[in-house]
Amino acid sequence: MGIEFRDVGKTYPDGTVAVTGFSCTVPSHRTLALVGTSGSGKTTLMRMVNRMVEPTTGTVLIDERDVLGLDKVELRRSIGYVPQAGGLLPHRRVVDNVATVPVLTGTPRGAARDAALALLERVGLDPALGRRYPAQLSGGQQQRVAVARALAADPNILLMDEPFGAVDPIVRRGLQDQLLQLQAELGKTIVLVTHDIDEAFRLGDEVVILRTGGIVAQAGTPKEIVAAPADDFVRDFIGADRADRALRTVDIDGRSVVVDGDGRPVGVLE
């Protein structure tokens, strides 16, 4: 069950190879983080799940069924999609943005709006913001709306395309916390695309680090990857040698204080 990429590849008509021979399984209720630089094929892979991109080789399966055998529009409506910044419908009020998919699938508008207002609260927004247009919200608020919108039809799967990439670090942290809390309650199957390794480690149960051309540099849990980077590429990508990852302890007044590579204290070892 869950999502399975079975030896998928994507070569565009102009000859660009985005992905080659990628295989990976995302068990239900787990989060897969696809991380890599631009050109690593991470977004292409995510888009294969809802057929925004179709693989040229191999198959993508959801609960054992080939997505190519499913109706494109129905499939997309059954999957929550959180776009990058700027993906809200600018001409629809926030509440109507959130209610988009339920309305598309035939829920009466009034009922869909009521549910949308409740969802806004769930993602930490004042329901009064529902009357506004997206441009009247801050970037962080807009992405909360995007998350609420993706959840509106109560999908089993969420696809997230660099959802928090364009907000400042403090707001990003808040959004990540919110998502972790929601995920603990809802248990969706999530495919998250990010170029931020820290985000991948925070949100992903499983992390796949991709290099150019969609080749897997390393796949595993965050712990496995940090503990044993497969090669120099991964080591460099996760910043294993970075000052804030190379922690050690020093003894101060009988207590073990953890310091980073520059000797700055980051905490106390209990």
Partner 1 sequence: MSWLEANRDYVLDMLVQHVRLSVPAIVISVVVAIVLGRVAWRWPRVGTVVLGTASLLYSVPALPLLIVIPVLLGIPLRSGLTLVVALAVYGTALLAGTAADAFRSVDGRVREAAEAMGYSRAGLFWKVDLPLAVPVLLSGVRVITVSTVSLVTIGALVGIPSLGNLLTDGFQRDIRAEIVTGVVGTMLLAVVLDVLLVVLGRLATPWRVATPTGGAR
3-state SS assignment for residue 57: strand
| Least distance from partner 1 to the Cβ atom of residue 70, Å | 12
Question: CA 142 to CA 84: how far, in whole Å?
Answer: 10
| Least distance from partner 1 to the Cβ atom of residue 101, Å | 6
Question: CA 84 to CA 1: how far, in whole Å?
Answer: 27
Nearest to 81 by CA among 69, 89, 90, 71: 89
| Least distance from partner 1 to the Cβ atom of residue 89, Å | 6
Question: Contacting partner 1 (CB under 8 A), which of 12, 16, 21, 89?
Answer: 89
Q: Does 113 bind partner 1 (CB under 8 A)?
A: no
Residue 35 · residue 230 · CB < 8 Å? no
Q: Does 128 bind partner 1 (CB under 8 A)?
A: no
| Least distance from partner 1 to the Cβ atom of residue 50, Å | 6
Non-local (6+) Cβ contacts of 187 within 8 A are: 29
**109-122 and 139-151 helices cross at what angle (nearest 10)?**
130
Question: CA 89 to CA 132: how far, in whole Å?
Answer: 12
x/- binding map, residues 38-77, to partner 1, per CB under 8 A? ---------x--x-x--------------------xxxxx
Question: Contacting partner 1 (CB under 8 A), which of 5, 81, 201, 237?
Answer: 81
Question: CA 16 to CA 93: how far, in whole Å?
Answer: 39
| Least distance from partner 1 to the Cβ atom of residue 73, Å | 5
What value, to the nearest 5°, has the Cα angle with vertex 52 and ends 46 and 53? 75
- Only one of the segments 19-27, 59-67, 133-141, 236-244 lies at the binding site for partner 1 (rule: CB under 8 A); that segment is 133-141
Question: Contacting partner 1 (CB under 8 A), which of 21, 27, 86, 187?
Answer: 86
Element (H, E) at 9: strand 3-11
- Only one of the segments 4-12, 34-42, 86-94, 227-235 lies at the binding site for partner 1 (rule: CB under 8 A); that segment is 86-94
Size of the site for partner 1 (CB under 8 A): 30
| Binding positions for partner 1, rule: CB under 8 A | 47, 50, 52, 73-78, 81, 83-92, 100-101, 104, 132-136, 149, 159
